[in-house]
Amino acid sequence: MERLLRLLQSGRIDPTRLATHSMRFAKHERGFEMMERKLDGIIKPLILF
């Protein structure tokens, strides 16, 4: 996990290419609800801070 975080911080991995949806942190609960209920084809939400 630490290695992954270092790769993300260094910019060597672009997490946006892994996500099907993105949303602001204020709406993170909606992202979890969408995943739980499998709404709108969501697979991986990206929470933006």
Domain that holds residue 19: 14-48
Q: How confident is the model at residue 1 (pLDDT cuts 50, 70, 90)?
A: confident
Q: Report yes or no on 21 lying in a domain.
A: yes
The angle formed by the CA atoms of residues 4, 34 and 24, to the nearest 5 degrees, is 60
* CB 45 within 8 Å of CB 19: yes
Q: What is the pLDDT of residues 10-43, one digit of tens each?
A: 999 998 888 999 999 999 999 999 999 999 999 9
Q: Report yes or no on 41 lying in a domain.
A: yes
Q: Report yes or no on 32 lying in a domain.
A: yes
The angle formed by the CA atoms of residues 18, 22 and 24, to the nearest 5 degrees, is 140
Q: Report yes or no on 36 lying in a domain.
A: yes
Question: Which residue stretches of 1-49 are H helix?
Answer: 2-10, 28-37
Q: Report yes or no on 8 lying in a domain.
A: no
Q: Report yes or no on 2 lying in a domain.
A: no
Write down the pLDDT at residue 17: 87
What is the count of structural domains for the chain?
A: 1
Q: Report yes or no on 6 lying in a domain.
A: no
